[in-house]
Amino acid sequence: MKYLLSFFLTGAMLFRGETKAQVREEAKAQTPEKRPNIVLILADDMGFSDMGMFGSEIRTPNLDSLAQSGVRFTNFYTCASSSPTRSMLLTGQDTHINGLGAMDEWTAPAQMGKEGYEGNLRTSLVTLPQLLKDAGYHTYMVGKWHLGKAPDKIPAARGFERDFTLLDGMGSYWDMTNMTALNHTSVFTEDGKYLTKLPKNYYATKTYTDKLISFIDKNHGDGKPFFAYVCHQAPHDPYHLPKDWRNRHVGEYDKGWDIVRQERLKKQKEFGIIPENTQLAERMWFVPDYSILAPATRAVLGRKMELYAGLIENMDYHIGRLIDHLKEIGEYENTIFIVFGDNGAEGNDLGAMIGGTPGTLNYLYFATKWSNTDLNAWGEPHSYVGYGPGWAQVSMTPFSQYKGWMAEGGIHNALVVSGPINKLPKGSINHGTMFVTDIMPTLLEVAGANYPETFNGKAQPKLTGKSWLPVLNGQAASPRTDEDYIAMEVFGNRALRQGDWKIRWEIKPIGKSDWELFNLAQDPGERNDLAAQYPDKLKEMLILWDKYVQENNVILPDRTLFETLEDQLPARVPVQDGYPPLNYIRQFIPPADMMAKPKKIKNN
């Protein structure tokens, strides 16, 4: 409320014709506290367990320091894919309302031309940065946008005062090389202008941080708080990282995903991130038991995880630079940090999906632009490395599946909130159910800004998210009641959570092409489908799903990214430790005192 009051007072003084400087001085005198700065860090495809304070062996001291001084939220949800999550974050609206009912790369015929399925952020909706800017915040963005490239859809048009932005969803970290023959060049903007080239010595994570620091410094001292939307490309594939960061874990992952998952699970239990009785999700059936793999295969696959770890550590280093800078200029104590990944870790092989079919244009393009395949070249420009489903499940420990899917591994993310809005003890862990659409109402409340009924003459849909401030103030354990639910759909995969219960529908063979029911409190790894056991509960939740569909104009896709997956993957079988025994039976060694040489045969 005090922020709101300050905002109105400032507006009133300006109306009286006083200079901005006078207003600032008077505001300073009258406002005991400056409104907090907000730094929202989005790590692209970072998994639930990839930060040290969420159980990882990856060294993330700076992210950990935020967690230690703030709160870790263990039941935070995003959408299962990138731009849908970003759209919810920036509008507070469901994807089927805000234009990301389908990603523009995968819009199905049934969805084309339909409102809410534009594949980019609808311009009729107001955005969080727009409202924060109107409320007196400087608004900065660096990093990946993925919400539209046309002039009316770029960050400068959607409320960001300063930006240095990759408009595409992915691409090289080193240059403007993009992913397909027809979309070969990444498009960047800086302060609303499309860039013809990148700055010298460009490296995504570093340059984004440098730019943000320069934005902050430029306006520092004018008395206005800032909102910084830091959308790191890291750790999205391709894993491009500077040489110094590539060899910090050599050989450490040769032990394999099963062991690393166990190690992370143990830490998570020690930290209190997950209940003591949590069982790891089943390893995906097409991901082999690492122990049966040859040393060379372990080394090559392990190398991918080494790079991923280095990529996150490099990102953490640059986040540390930002933190240090804010401390240097005296802004750190008054800055809210919100950190999370935009969806589950990436287990799909995007490189193979795009450029893996000989005889296609994209294959030719990959041969030209993405064929730096030698192991020692991994991390260099034109190399393409993604770590695949085995390691993605590690990143999503203890959950099942990964990005694109509606098991917890696709949508359940680590969330850290720190800074002056947190009144809970430092290092707290909260298990309340949070959703990415909550960020808009939370930050509007922090900034003392109102959500308008109309924007540019267009009526605005109501916000459906819940402010986190009651939780951060210690007044509530969760922003949601037992009746509240969250739901989402992308690529035809669907999920809805209410309390401890969750239903999900996923296309075969990852899912059953049918609804499944899980009790997440008892089974966070989603090992046991309870649909047959609790048909009434399923029915009850399907009613909520139908409500969600109606309220949000959900049009299910008639074609999807995964429609041929059943033909590509081996037949689904249960994964049970130690089966088949053939793989694990070791050489029999008889007792030494019972061993003998063969006896000679007479006359032979």
Partner 1 sequence: MNNFIKFISMRAGNFSLALFIVMLCASISTMAQGDGARFYWKGFMGTNAVPVIVNSMGGNANPMDPSNTVIPGSEFSAAMSMAGYARMLPIGKRSALISVLVPMGRISGVASLDGIDFSATSRGFGDPMVQFSINVIGPKAIMNIPDILRYKPGFSLDILGSLAVPIGQYDNTIPINIGQNRWYGRIGIPIVWQIGQWIPGKRTTFEFLPAVWFFTDNKDFVGKTMSTKPKYQLEAHLTRDFMERMWGSFDVISYLGGKSTVDGVEGDALSNLGLGGTLGYQINENMQLTLSYNTTVNDNDAEDLKMDGFRITFLYGWHKLIEGMHRLKGNE
Q: Give me the residues that bind partner 1 (CB under 8 A), please.
A: 243, 250-251, 254, 286-288, 292-301, 303, 349, 352, 372-377, 380, 385, 388, 390, 570
Closer CB to partner 1, 227 or 370, in the complex? 370
Q: For residues 496 and 291, what is the distance between their CA atoms, to the nearest angstrom?
A: 36
Shortest Cβ 392–partner 1 spacing (Å): 11
392 Cβ partners below 8 Å, 6+ apart? Answer: 47, 344, 345, 346, 347, 402, 403, 409
Closer CB to partner 1, 36 or 404, in the complex? 404
Angle between helix 388-395 and 257-271 (nearest 10)? 10
Shortest Cβ 526–partner 1 spacing (Å): 22
Closer CB to partner 1, 332 or 384, in the complex? 384
Measured in whole angstroms, the distance separating CA 459 from the mean position of its chain's CA atoms is 30
Closer CB to partner 1, 153 or 304, in the complex? 304
Burial 532-544 (b: 16+ CB within 10 A, else e): eeeeebbeebeeb
Shortest Cβ 349–partner 1 spacing (Å): 7
Q: How far apart are the first and last CA of the chain?
A: 104
532 dihedral zone (left: phi>0; alpha: psi -120 to 50; beta): alpha
Strand 515-519 with 454-455, pairing:
unpaired
Q: What is the DSSP letter of 43?
A: E
Closer CB to partner 1, 157 or 569, in the complex? 569
Closer CB to partner 1, 136 or 389, in the complex? 389
Q: For residues 533 and 514, what is the distance between their CA atoms, to the nearest angstrom?
A: 15
Shortest Cβ 384–partner 1 spacing (Å): 9
Closer CB to partner 1, 52 or 256, in the complex? 256
Residue 597 CB burial class (10 angstroms; 0-12, 13-18, ≥19): exposed
DSSP string, 300-367: HHHHHHHHHHHHHHHHHHHHHHHHHHHHHTT-GGGEEEEEEESSS---S-HHHHHH-STTSHHHHHHH
Shortest Cβ 589–partner 1 spacing (Å): 24
Closer CB to partner 1, 320 or 351, in the complex? 351
Closer CB to partner 1, 52 or 388, in the complex? 388
Shortest Cβ 241–partner 1 spacing (Å): 14
Q: What is the DSSP letter of 229?
A: E
Q: For residues 88 and 80, what is the distance between their CA atoms, to the nearest angstrom?
A: 12
- Angle CA(367)–CA(311)–CA(215) in degrees, nearest 5? 105
What token pair was written down for 431?
């298990």
With contact defined as beta carbons under 8 Å apart, do 569 and 557 qualify? Answer: no
What are the backbone dihedrals phi and psi of residue 587, each rounded to the nearest 5 degrees, phi first? Answer: -50, 130
Can you say whether the dihedral through the CA atoms of 243, 244, 247, 249 is positive or negative? negative
Closer CB to partner 1, 296 or 601, in the complex? 296
- The kind and range of the H/E element at 495 are strand 493-498
Closer CB to partner 1, 59 or 298, in the complex? 298
Shortest Cβ 197–partner 1 spacing (Å): 24
Shortest Cβ 312–partner 1 spacing (Å): 20
Shortest Cβ 317–partner 1 spacing (Å): 21
Nearest to 79 by CA among 498, 555, 494: 494
Shortest Cβ 294–partner 1 spacing (Å): 7
Q: For residues 415 and 75, what is the distance between their CA atoms, to the nearest angstrom?
A: 8
Q: For residues 141 and 368, what is the distance between their CA atoms, to the nearest angstrom?
A: 32
Please write down the HEC assignment for all residues of 504-564: EECCCCCCCCCEEEEECCCCCCCCCCCCCCCHHHHHHHHHHHHHHHHHHCCCCCCCCCCCC
With contact defined as beta carbons under 8 Å apart, do 285 and 574 qualify? Answer: yes
Closer CB to partner 1, 248 or 537, in the complex? 248
Shortest Cβ 153–partner 1 spacing (Å): 36
What token pair was written down for 184?
């070969």
What token pair was written down for 384?
């393409």
Shortest Cβ 202–partner 1 spacing (Å): 19
Closer CB to partner 1, 357 or 473, in the complex? 357
What Cα–Cα distance (Å) separates residue 456 from each residue in 90, 127, 350, 364? 17, 12, 39, 46
Shortest Cβ 181–partner 1 spacing (Å): 20
Closer CB to partner 1, 372 or 553, in the complex? 372
Shortest Cβ 186–partner 1 spacing (Å): 23
